[in-house]
Structure 1
Amino acid sequence: MKRKVIRQRHQEKAEEKPERKVYASNNVNKNLSLNDALDVFVTAKKAEGLRERTIAEYYRHITYLIEFIGSDIPLSELSSDLIRRYANYLLNEKLTYDKDERRKSKRIGLSPHTVNIRLRTLKTMCRFWYAEGYSDNNPMATVKPVKTDQVAEVQGLSDQQVRILLNNYDETSYAEWRDKTLVFLLLDTGLRINEAVTLTIDQIDFRRNMLNIPSERTKNRRYREVPVSLEVVQRLLELNQESQEYFGYSERIFTNAFGENYTADSFRKRLNRVKHKLGMDTLHPHQFRHTFAREYILSVGDIFTLQKILDHADIKTTRKYIQMDTDHIRSQHLNYTPTRKYLRKVKRNFPR
């Protein structure tokens, strides 16, 4: 009997390639069309508790793909080559906002970031279909994401921009008074826009000046408490009372001029009009969240507490939010350079 021999210490065994595990039953239907396969995928994801917004995105992305192909096709015909041709079409031929007649500025080619989002969605689906046995191969296995240049992080607003924006609002107008209150809320708490516009009067803890954000309304599905200034709470109360005088009782604090729920999209559109009026380059709800983060750190708040307030799962995300411009950097250096305390102690002896 041949004996085993060790030639080299700590020699690693060659890794064995794991076999593909298919958990589906033998009677899986492999003749599904893309739309049928999507329905199977969505049913599984609903069982996992995915939100309706995410489910809607899956339907939307498959619709984009089928529009490119020209018709619904069998899942078996979805190939790596077809997906690459789809990606090239999105990058080089697709007209942006082609179905939005209100958009005047349109260009050819989606951004690499947008294309990668659609590819990631397809990757998730193809991996599912392959693992469940609906497809004999994973066409996304060899498709790589589009290479992108580093994109500049979202910049917050400067102090001057915030003042100009707030002074622009006419508080005799209900809509502008409401929008100004919403801006104050976003600047004061760093809430996401959807968390802010869906705020109800019951979420305000008046004794502690805290906002209770339920898990079903947060991005990371975690309940959290967010501090809010007394002055902002008073504005929220006044806005809610004024709305009830016109439209009767409503849990929502933010409503439109008809007493209906105010939406994030409506606020974005109104900000876009203000942006053009004031001649600003950019103005969107997420900038208030970035402004809050920057000002919190500049006011000597700590990044770990900021991470909790902003509801970031990873502190790296919080770091990206803190974008300092040259004026802020110079100001911070002026206030905290250690050289000053030493220079104050040095007696200046100038020659006569």
Structure 2
Amino acid sequence: MSTQAPPRVAPEPAPEPPPAPAALAATPLGGDAQAFLDHLRLQRRLAERTLAMYHDALVRLEAFAVAQSVVLTEVRAHHVRRWAAQLHGQGLGPRSIAIHLAAWRGLYRWLGREGRILANPVDGLRPPKAARPLPKALPVDQAVALAEVHDDDSDPVLDARDHAIVELLYGCGLRVAELLGLDVQASAAARGWLDLAAGDAQVLGKGSKRRIVPVGQVAVRAVQAWLAVRGELAHVEEPALFVSRRGTRLTDGQLRRRLAQRARAAGLPQAVHPHMLRHSFASHLLQSSGDLRAVQELLGHAQISSTQVYTRLDFQHLAKIYDATHPRAKRKSGQKL
């Protein structure tokens, strides 16, 4: 008796790799998606980095809809679930997928308010869970070294600017967007400004929420030193407190490159990014004061849970001290636990 071989099943095609970030950034959006992004920029005043991530997410949403031959206003929950799975298959991590779903959910919430749809197809869909890494903070001595270093290879004017930037990031715990949004003078159009006489900064944080942050005397003196030479770079009509060589408002990328250069000049053994100084501000303040609510207010966190992550850093700090100093924590080399 002959046996017939089972039919061969063609393997499912591997998911296409996600488009390169440059290709996403260069792709224009359709009418509804672009109108939503303009709303976020003009009405919600989201940070440029957030807008860029939302733009990329909306580009992918439109590409999925075109491939499925469905218009955005007719997308349903089963479409979104399938597309989220495809994002995972393309290699995007849980955090990236969460950002995509947040952008898509925001678009459909906005379309609902405009009366264009009856139900939000993204509601109830949760992104895959991801381990929440601890924020990276510098040790106190490294943070102080970064603040106090003067780069001999740098232009003195740029060195004065960078010194003031580090003092504000580490001394006030500002977000990058908050710092870059500072103007020299207070005005109705300004996102933020410094009152050096009062020793405080008014900044526009996430969700367009304003808050007042104290500015220490060391940071005040650093800013005053920068203001004394700022005119050598800034255009006459430029309102920004921190400007580039070209005299225009400093960008996020320019700030990151200058901070990395300053970290090398300070001899720091690790790469330093601007948000690391905000983490260092919070961690060091919590270690010294133990006042979680005060740190929450200074950081501008809407939820105390966002601030509580720094208590884990504080515990790690205490654990290291215990391991290094307590007689019962010390073990001989090779001793088993």
> How does the TM-score come out when normalised to structure 2?
0.68
| Kept in 2: contact 1:155–1:290 (CA 8 A) | yes
1:146 has 2:127 as partner:
yes
Matched with 2:151 is: 170
1:315 has 2:298 as partner:
no
1:80 has 2:70 as partner:
no
> 1:139 and 1:183, CA in 2 relative to 1: closer, same or farther beyond 3 A?
same
1:240 has 2:227 as partner:
yes
> 1:315 and 1:171, CA in 2 relative to 1: closer, same or farther beyond 3 A?
farther
| Kept in 2: contact 1:220–1:311 (CA 8 A) | no
Equivalent runs, 1:215-234 vs 2, <5 Å:
217-234=204-221
| Kept in 1: contact 2:46–2:208 (CA 8 A) | no
Distance 1:178 1:52 in 2: 25
Q: Which residue among 62, 67, 71 is the counterpart of 2:58? A: 62
> 1:300 and 1:141, CA in 2 relative to 1: closer, same or farther beyond 3 A?
closer
Q: Note the C-alpha offset of 1:290.
A: 1.3
Distance 2:152 2:177 in 1: 23
> 1:130 and 1:218, CA in 2 relative to 1: closer, same or farther beyond 3 A?
closer
Distance 2:85 2:55 in 1: 21
1:91 has 2:88 as partner:
yes
What are the superposed Cα offsets for residues 170-200 of structure 1, whole Å, 9 maximum, x if unpaired? 1562334422331122111111122223333
1:269 has 2:257 as partner:
yes
1:119 has 2:101 as partner:
yes
> 1:42 and 1:289, CA in 2 relative to 1: closer, same or farther beyond 3 A?
closer
> 1:68 and 1:236, CA in 2 relative to 1: closer, same or farther beyond 3 A?
same
> How does the TM-score come out when normalised to structure 1?
0.66
Equivalent runs, 1:275-290 vs 2, <5 Å:
280=269, 282-290=271-279
Matched with 1:51 is: 45
Which amino acid in the other structure matches residue 267 of structure 1? Answer: L
Question: Residue 126 of structure 1: SS of its match in structure 2?
Answer: helix
What are the superposed Cα offsets for residues 149-183 of structure 1, whole Å, 9 maximum, x if unpaired? 32112121113432554576515623344223311
Question: Residue 95 of structure 2: SS of its match in structure 1?
Answer: helix
| Kept in 1: contact 2:143–2:277 (CA 8 A) | no
Which amino acid in the other structure matches residue 300 of structure 2? Answer: D
> 1:296 and 1:316, CA in 2 relative to 1: closer, same or farther beyond 3 A?
same
What are the superposed Cα offsets for residues 257-289 of structure 1, whole Å, 9 maximum, x if unpaired? 222211223212344566789685552111111
Which amino acid in the other structure matches residue 224 of structure 2? Answer: L
Which amino acid in the other structure matches residue 201 of structure 1? Answer: V
Q: Note the C-alpha offset of 1:291.
A: 0.8
Query: Structure 1, unaligned stretches of length 5 or more?
Result: 1-33, 94-108, 338-352
Q: How many residue pairs align between the two structures?
A: 283
Query: Structure 2, unaligned stretches of length 5 or more?
Result: 1-28, 186-192, 327-337
1:324 has 2:280 as partner:
no
> 1:178 and 1:145, CA in 2 relative to 1: closer, same or farther beyond 3 A?
same
Distance 1:127 1:85 in 2: 20
Question: Residue 208 of structure 2: SS of its match in structure 1?
Answer: coil
> 1:73 and 1:266, CA in 2 relative to 1: closer, same or farther beyond 3 A?
farther
> In terms of mean alpha carbon deviation, does 318-327 or 286-295 score higher?
318-327
Q: Percent identity?
A: 25
Q: Note the C-alpha offset of 1:69.
A: 4.7
Q: Supply the RMSD in Å over aligned alpha carbons.
A: 3.8
Matched with 1:26 is: none
Matched with 2:198 is: 208
What are the superposed Cα offsets for residues 291-312 of structure 1, whole Å, 9 maximum, x if unpaired? 1112112222622222222122
Question: Residue 136 of structure 2: SS of its match in structure 1?
Answer: coil
